[in-house]
């Protein structure tokens, strides 16, 4: 008798099954916290996360989804739901609303979220439009570096840049460390022209900001803008009306004064392009991380999953989901601002 047959014959679990029974499917492994002791303490103090109640809180949110949103196609894994609880400081109702908004946003902007995978964005990644720096800031925040001047509008539409941003955020938020610490954005507007700025109109600005504020489980701790030209006054005029006060207060405009930037982001963690001592800016490492995650993104964003309209109707919706016509007057006003600032 073969070893396989012998093991089946002597296995109590298999031997106890009748001929018509099959063993139950293996359950996915339970949640295992990867946070350090310091991050557990930080999560307790800043996010109201109590380790002894963590799984109870996750189960409470899972029960709410099943009861109030039974047709919402979403993962109910512990680790996935924890993202939303942490983003809303373990307020069940707000975490549920964020989860519903998250799926509503994905469904309402298909040109951004459909087929969202690294291989579909190789041109954007290769351009250097965005990357994640290898070192975190003193608070442990990963630094998302964006350089709009690297985008050539004739090569691909602005929505491809937005897709790359969300691709990066989805990868970052998989880390429990990022869920607790949040992220910092470093935006370099050197060389951004009037014609390029005009692509980022109120309609797109409102959608992007609406999703970041109300439809994605990420904590944005600061936005540092450097090398902004005069035209940025017009760009910020587009953005500011849609920002909540808390987020607006986290914008810091440094101009060409890198010493000002270094008061928040030390030179030791910055590339030399920003007066740092951490070597030249390298986009290849982060691009490799994303491209290695291809299968994960294919499973999550490249499948057709029906979602109940009545459930998605419960979303706010985040302030970004309006029609182009509603933004026409605003767009004309902003264009005049752009020209006056140029």
Mean pLDDT by 10-residue block, N- to C-terminus, for the chain (342 residues)? 41 39 49 96 98 97 97 95 98 98 94 95 97 97 97 95 97 98 97 83 87 96 94 80 92 95 98 97 97 94 59 48 42 44 42
Report which of 222, 247, 243, 214 is spatially closest to residue 87, judged by C-alpha positions: 214
Residues 64 and 123 in one domain: no
Residues 116 and 227 in one domain: yes
Residues 45 and 150 in one domain: no
What pLDDT does residue 198 have?
81
| Domain boundary residue, one of 86, 107, 128 | 107
Residues 268 and 128 in one domain: yes
The one-character DSSP state at 224 is: E
Residues 214 and 98 in one domain: no
Q: Which domain holds residue 293?
A: 112-300
143 burial via Cβ count (<10 Å: 0-12, 13-18, 19+): buried
Query: Beta-carbon neighbour count of residue 136 at 10 Å?
Result: 17
Q: Report the number of distinct structural domains present in the chain.
A: 2
At 26, phi and psi to the nearest 5?
A: -65, 135
pTM, two decimal places: 0.82
What pLDDT does residue 5 have?
42
What pLDDT does residue 305 have?
52
How is residue 60 written in tokens? 């409470």
Strand boundaries in the chain, DSSP class E: 130-132, 142-146, 183-188, 220-226, 251-255
Residues 97 and 130 in one domain: no
């Amino acid at each position: 008798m073969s070893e396989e047959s012998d093991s089946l014959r002597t296995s109590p679990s298999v031997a106890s099954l009748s001929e018509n029974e099959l063993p139950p499917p293996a359950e996915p492994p339970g949640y295992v916290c990867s946070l350090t002791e310091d991050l557990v303490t930080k999560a307790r103090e800043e996010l109201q996360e109590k380790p002894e109640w963590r799984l109870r809180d996750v189960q409470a949110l899972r029960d709410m989804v099943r009861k109030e949103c039974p047709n919402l196609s979403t993962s109910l894994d512990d680790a996935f739901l924890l993202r939303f609880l942490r983003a809303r400081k373990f307020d069940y109702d707000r975490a549920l609303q964020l989860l519903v908004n998250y799926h509503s946003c994905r469904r309402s902007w298909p040109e951004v979220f459909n087929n969202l995978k690294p291989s579909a964005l190789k041109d954007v990644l290769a351009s250097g439009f965005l990357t994640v720096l290898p070192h975190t800031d003193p608070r442990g925040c990963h630094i998302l570096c964006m350089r709009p001047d690297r985008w050539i509008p004739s090569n691909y539409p602005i929505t491809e840049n937005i897709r790359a941003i969300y691709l990066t955020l989805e990868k970052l938020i998989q880390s429990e460390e990022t869920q607790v610490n949040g992220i910092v954005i470093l935006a370099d507007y050197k060389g951004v022209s009037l014609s390029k700025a005009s692509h980022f109109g109120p309609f797109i600005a409102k959608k992007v900001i609406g999703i970041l504020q109300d439809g994605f489980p990420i904590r944005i701790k600061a936005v540092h803008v450097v090398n902004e030209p005069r035209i940025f006054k017009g760009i910020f005029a587009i953005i500011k009306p849609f920002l909540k006060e808390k987020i607006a207060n986290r914008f810091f405009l440094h101009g060409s004064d890198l010493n000002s930037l270094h008061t928040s982001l030390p030179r030791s963690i910055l590339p030399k392009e920003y007066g740092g001592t951490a070597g030249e800016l390298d986009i290849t490492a982060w691009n490799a991380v994303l491209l290695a995650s291809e299968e994960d993104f294919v499973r999550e964003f490249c499948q057709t999953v029906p979602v109940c309209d009545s459930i998605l109707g419960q979303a706010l919706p985040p302030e970004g989901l309006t029609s182009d016509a509603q933004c026409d007057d605003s767009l004309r006003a902003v264009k005049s601002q752009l020209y006056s600032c140029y």
